[in-house]
Structure 1
Amino acid sequence: MAETEIISSSENNEQFFEGVEKLIEIWFTPAKNADLRKITRQQWENVLKIVRCEIISFTQSELVDAYVLSESSMFVSRRRWILKTCGTTTPLRCVRAVLSLARDVAGHSRVHNVFYSRREFARPAAQLQPHDNFDSEVKLLDSFFGDGRAYIMGPEKDCWYLYTLLPLEGTVDALEKEHCAANELLEPDQTIEILMSDLDPAVMEIFTRQYSANAAQATRESGIDKIIPGMVIDDFLFDPCGYSMNGVAKDGCYMTIHITPEPACSYVSFESNVPVSCYEEVITRVLQAFRPNKFVLTVFATPDSPGAEAARQLKKFPALGTYSLLDGQHCRFAGYSLQYALYCKFPS
């Protein structure tokens, strides 16, 4: 996280950083020879200037390019673009530029679907427009895509916001026919997010320069390298504190973790599209690594993906280890199901 994003509180001399991220994901309809990875690094850097962040490091597999940013991460594959940024960044301001590059450079002229989501900010008033309120975010997204749907899930202080776009053809069946004509089928897709707050101070200390000499030490001592084995890890430890990592696998799977360790505002996010039919083991590893007091869990999955079964299983979990379920919702969208849950640690 960039030092310019840290806010000092004169009341108690504690430093604050908004760890909650804004996450936007755009899928494009398959087109012959179209590939978002044709967009150059310099062009991405120009886009990220609009967002108010920059590229720190880069890694890739055959199927996905992964960028660690000064505020979180960006992933680029053939027809999917993901941008996840924390602090007071402005990711929605860059959407128009991304759509132009997708059309003019990558050969993608049609949007298949859009997902924009975030937790409630700790300090929403500190955000820059349009991110100071969800209504403004939705208004801007609608100016780009027109046919979006906005949802709010969970209790007020821990709510989770979602904007998603129905497929332009109106039905999944119509899109499947279109994709078959292009010699491509709809890809099974699933994404799990675990958004954690109020974390164990002893764990958070690992992600400071005072404790860890480098990112590799923090990755190893926290157990991050064992959450999803087989990932090629690109990690970064900020000075004086803070941590980001991307992991990529040969099959196109990714994982990303971002950590704000300051005691007054500790926050950790975990995200992956790893295709498993049961997320319980992954969730357990994440919770054991970071030991949050509270977390939001979301699972998006297409009906034909392994993650669809995982989402159904989560509906049956009134508790996860030492955590009790405070709120849960299940929704169906065009071609996707969503499981949302809010968990809190049992009183000791």
Structure 2
Amino acid sequence: MLFFRSDWENVLSNVNCQIISTSKNDIIDAFVLSESSMFVSKRRWILKTCGTTTPLKCLGQLLKLAEANGYNVVADLFYSRKNFTRPEAQITPHQGFTEEVTYLDSIFPNGRSYCLGSMNLECWYLYTFSRSDIKISPQLISDDKNVDSDPDQTIEILMQDLDPETMSIFYKNKFNDANGATVKSGIDTILPTMHIDDFLFDPCGYSMNGINDKGEYMTIHITPENQFSYVSFETNVALSNYRKLINQVINTFKPGKFIVTIFANKCSLAYETMKELEVEYSQGSHWKRTDMQCCNFPSYNLLFAQYSHSEKTGDNL
């Protein structure tokens, strides 16, 4: 596998974002972007964007780059997003989920699209394509193993209506450097094994990537303005129970409401953890689960759950 920074800069030019900083180890490369993050490992490419970027526009160039390096089969593809806060600001091909699906179908004819949650309130869109019947390239893994052989999981926590005092940490007039905000907020304690690469935007806003020696990652992106405060957290750390991690994240940022999604394949420790979120929590909790859905895909299971409460107390689930 031989990719250069210039390759990724060319891919990202289609997205309308730039590379700010990079961190890497023997397993994974991480990029903090002007509009979120990108991660590259032997069998996985992840792009997270925000604002009015156009992530789908990079797919054609990305697939050509992959094929030139011997990666000629897409085993799984996931494109997901929450409903837009300002849909009128988006540009083609992101002016609606129907338009996005049409664009993706032109590249992946057998893809499937879904909407989880309430379509007239908060919802989460997903497009997925899977080729679990194929073998991946021999140079990546032995012929007798398919794409489902390795454990794989992702948990994402999308938070809104954040605590203003906590959000004030992520302004340049509070800290001159990102590390101060990382330590003050407690981000560095969420997954302590992560090597952190962080960035504090001017006048406000924050992004961080974390990677560890096992090739696991975490990423956090923060829009702190009170009118539309938003925090996203994502990691592929393998845990048999994510309840403690979820509690630590929501106690760090103190949202008024949040969405949790968990993807896991059958080989993952997290495959059974979804049952933990299927049950109601104790009556003493101030969190109310307002929605929950589960989906079974050829290679993965997915859980979607949404929570809210009237008092921003930071209570555990």
Q: Per the alignment, do residues 176 and 95 of structure 1 end up closer, same or farther by CA in structure 2, a change over 3 Å counting?
A: closer
Give me the whole-angstrom Cα distance separating, in 1, the residues matched to 2:306 and 2:137. 38
| Mapped pair 1:77 → 2:46 | no
Q: Per the alignment, do residues 247 and 227 of structure 1 end up closer, same or farther by CA in structure 2, a change over 3 Å counting?
A: same
Please tell me the residue identity of whatever aligns with 1:246: N
Equivalent position of 1:113 in the other structure: 76
Give me the whole-angstrom Cα distance separating, in 2, the residues matched to 1:347 and 1:85. 30
Give me the whole-angstrom Cα distance separating, in 2, the residues matched to 1:143 and 1:288. 42
| Mapped pair 1:306 → 2:232 | no
SS of equivalent residue, structure 1 residue 92: helix
Equivalent position of 1:285 in the other structure: 248
| Mapped pair 1:45 → 2:45 | no
Please tell me the residue identity of whatever aligns with 1:199: L
Please tell me the residue identity of whatever aligns with 2:98: D
SS of equivalent residue, structure 2 residue 57: helix
The answer to whether the 8 Å contact 2:115/2:123 transfers is yes
Give me the whole-angstrom Cα distance separating, in 2, the residues matched to 1:285 and 1:321. 15
TM-score normalised by length of structure 1: 0.85
CA deviation string 1:233-275 (max 9, x = no partner): 0000000000000000000100000000011110000000000
The answer to whether the 8 Å contact 1:50/1:93 transfers is yes
Equivalent position of 2:237 in the other structure: 274
Say which of 86, 92, 113 aligns to 2:50. Answer: 86
| Mapped pair 1:252 → 2:215 | yes
CA positional deviation for 1:303? 1.2
Please tell me the residue identity of whatever aligns with 1:245: M
CA positional deviation for 1:317? 3.7
- Alignment gaps of 5+ in structure 1: 1-34
The answer to whether the 8 Å contact 1:195/1:297 transfers is yes
| Mapped pair 1:344 → 2:288 | no
Extract structure 1 runs of 4+ deviating beyond 3 A.
Answer: 174-180, 182-185, 317-321
- More helix per residue: 1 or 2? 1
| Mapped pair 1:131 → 2:115 | no
TM-score normalised by length of structure 2: 0.93
The answer to whether the 8 Å contact 1:295/1:342 transfers is yes
CA positional deviation for 1:318? 4.2
The answer to whether the 8 Å contact 2:71/2:137 transfers is no
Give the CA RMSD over aligned residues. 1.8
Q: Percent identity?
A: 50
Q: Per the alignment, do residues 321 and 101 of structure 1 end up closer, same or farther by CA in structure 2, a change over 3 Å counting?
A: farther
CA positional deviation for 1:225? 0.4
The answer to whether the 8 Å contact 1:300/1:311 transfers is no
Give me the whole-angstrom Cα distance separating, in 1, the residues matched to 2:286 and 2:22. 37
| Mapped pair 1:181 → 2:143 | yes
The answer to whether the 8 Å contact 1:111/1:168 transfers is no
Give me the whole-angstrom Cα distance separating, in 1, the residues matched to 2:285 and 2:177. 31
- Alignment gaps of 5+ in structure 2: 313-317
Give me the whole-angstrom Cα distance separating, in 2, the residues matched to 1:312 and 1:40. 42
SS of equivalent residue, structure 2 residue 121: helix
| Mapped pair 1:66 → 2:25 | no
